[in-house]
Amino acid sequence: MSTPKRVYQIKVMLLDSRPPVWRRILVPDSTTLSHLHTILQIVMGWTDSHLHMFTVNEEIYGDPEDDETGEIGTKNERWYRLNQFVNREGFKFRYEYDFGDSWLHDLVVEKVIPAEKGTQYPVCIKGKRACPPEDVGGVWGYDDFLEAITNPKHPEHDGYLEWVSGEFDPEAFDLDGVNEALRAMKSGRGAKAVTFPEPEDDLGISVDEQTTLDNLAAWVQNLSQKETGVFESLPLRRDMLVFLDYLSKNRTVGTQSTGNLPLKAVHAICERFVKPPVLEETIGDKTYKVRSEDEVWPLLFVHYLAFHSGMVTGGQARVWKVTEEGQSFPQLPPPVQVFFLFTHWWAHMDWTIAFPVTGLADGLPASFKPSALASLRGLPAGRNAPYKPFADGLIAQSGLEWPIEDQTSARSIMRSVVERVLVDPMVKFGVLECQYGTENIAGHDFTKLASIRLTPIGKGMLELLK
């Protein structure tokens, strides 16, 4: 929950560009390669329209799904942090974007420095020259492009100018604009680097800077005995303790393909959860068994929270270990434990993992989290609020859309999105309580979320997100 201890100053250079195109950035040492990909897209000016990969110590990291045949042996970039590789200043690795144009970037760790209190990371501190246009044909195609647009007599002069909407300044670099985009950034693959709108609220959801320890201590001290008891009994908190305890006592190696927990660990951990998820079910004469951690959302949610909060480290064919921060977690007061997890869900995690379907391939709107926070704060504490008006209001405020023509179906799907990515996690954190009803659709009864209620402890945690 703290400000990062160390920051890497990295120079990013577009290989073979003449004159050189480069950026200098500061990123926390705990940054995942997946998150670094999004950062690089923003600071360079790419549009995240093509595939990418990192080459670190002769190993390939990226999205394993892009390695369809498995011939490359791509390791999952989500499970690897910079501090697992960088062991000195001068450490060098490579990032490739668009395998057709093959934009190669050399990344050099120039300095390892302590983080400055009050500074929001990542940040770009310097850069030179514009990013080439997408699909221009790589470095050599870019040279031809520049020659054409600067020579009115060139046969492709007019065509290239029309392609870039009439103008292109190869010397242009907007440092302030890049840092605005970084502040508005959301993590996760699929974020379109150059199209982030400014959040509606002045909210980077970086609680590290917005909440002081004094405020947190005062909040905990003012909790009633009953409220403290709610935190102590919260299943999510207790499940996290189970998860950390298991990894600390058992050598658990991530699977070769995804880095997920092996099935032995999945079963052992889940059977100790407060509400053990069903891992095997018989319907008629068929028995269905869980084949991967990805199919067990209660465990996957805990695992993601532990990883993105820095409490565990591991990955593909690597041992999952509890970090120093994870070892100290059990000693924290229960309200602080829950708030720690709560803030990391807001600040550092891609909510689309709770609704992993193609309709959200480009992620949630940049204004979704600020709008969600405003909508939750607007709920009357301790009183039921109808769910559909709440969801519809958030959909309208955030600009959430669903890419199908049938808008009646789209509206129903988007309400499900809000329920899955916002309401369900807020229930896990004790922020919301839900009431369900029965809805008849085409002659069949379905259980539907009817109303939500903001809890007293939820109101308090939301107020700390200032």
Question: Mind giving me the DSSP string for 110-153?
Answer: EEEEEPPTT--SSEEEEEESPPPPTTS-HHHHHHHHHHHHH-TT
pLDDT averaged over the chain?
86
Residue 359's pLDDT is what? 63
Q: What amino acid occupies position 72?
A: I
Distance CA 75, CA 64 (A): 6
Q: What is the pLDDT of residues 255-288, one digit of tens each?
A: 877 788 999 999 999 999 999 999 988 877 888 8
Q: Please, what is the Cα angle at 66 between 41 and 350, to 5 degrees? A: 55
Whether the predicted pLDDT of 194 surpasses 90:
no
Q: Is the dihedral of CA 378, 381, 384, 387 positive or negative?
A: positive
Note whether 306 and 326 are within 8 A (CB).
Answer: yes
CA angle 110, 3, 355 (to 5 degrees): 100
At 281, give phi and psi (nearest 5°): -145, 135
Residue 50 is encoded by which pair of tokens? Answer: 């093509």
Contact 95, 54 (CB under 8 A): yes
Kindly report, residue by residue over 396-421, the tens digit of the pLDDT: 999 998 878 888 888 999 999 999 99
State yes or no: pLDDT of 71 exceeds 80. no
pLDDT at 167: 84
Q: Which helix (H) or strand (E) holds 274?
A: none
pLDDT above 80 for 199: no
CA–CA distance, 453 with 385 (Å, rounded to integer): 6
pLDDT tens digits for range 352-401 = 888 876 567 677 888 999 999 999 999 999 999 999 999 999 999 999 98
CB 124 within 8 A of CB 175: yes
d(CA 105, CA 139): 11
* Poorest-pLDDT segment among 173-182, 345-354, 370-379: 345-354
Each domain of the chain, given as residue ranges in start order, spans 6-129+173-183, 234-349, 354-466
30-60 pLDDT, tens per residue?
888 989 999 999 999 998 889 999 999 999 9
Report the alpha-carbon distance of residue 62 to residue 50 in Å, rounded: 12
96 pairs with which residues across the strands? 53, 104
Average pLDDT over residues 113-120: 86
Confidence of residue 158 (pLDDT cuts 50, 70, 90): confident
pTM of this structure:
0.68
Contacts of 361 (CB under 8 A, 6+ apart): 190
Residue 190 pLDDT > 60, yes or no? no
Q: What is the rounded end-to-end Cα distance, in angstroms, of the chain?
A: 15
Residue 205 in this model has a pLDDT that exceeds 60: no
Report domain 6-129+173-183's class.
alpha beta
Which residues, 6+ apart, have CB-to-CB distance to 418 below 8 Å?
Answer: 390, 391, 394, 395, 400
Q: Output the CA–CA distances (angstroms, integers) from residue 157 to 2, 163, 170, in the order listed.
A: 53, 10, 15
With cut-offs at 50, 70 and 90, classify the pLDDT of residue 191: very low
- Cβ neighbours of 110 (radius 10 Å): 14
Distances in Å between the alpha carbon of 17 and those of 36, 142, 285, 306? Answer: 21, 9, 64, 40
Q: What is the distance between the alpha carbons of residues 78 and 257, in angstroms, rounded to a whole number? A: 12
Residue 178: partners with Cβ closer than 8 Å, 6 or more residues away: 23, 42, 43, 45, 124, 127
CB 193 within 8 A of CB 181: yes
**Residue (of 177, 137, 143, 142) closest to 43 by Cα position:** 177
Residue 3: predicted pLDDT: 58
CA angle, 49 then 104 then 310, to 5°: 75
- Exposure string for 236-263, b = 16+ CB within 10 A, e = fewer: bbbbbbbbbebbeeeebbbbeebbbbeb
Q: Which of 5-19, 157-171, 193-207, 221-235 shows the lowest mean pLDDT across its residues? A: 193-207
Q: Which CATH class is domain 354-466?
A: mainly alpha
Phi, psi angle pair for 11, to nearest 5°: -95, 125
Order across the sheet with 92-97: list the strands.
Answer: 75-76, 59-62, 52-56, 92-97, 103-114, 6-14, 22-28, 123-128
pLDDT above 60: residue 204: no
Percent of the chain topping pLDDT 70: 90
Answer for the pair 399, 365: CB distance below 8 angstroms, yes or no: yes
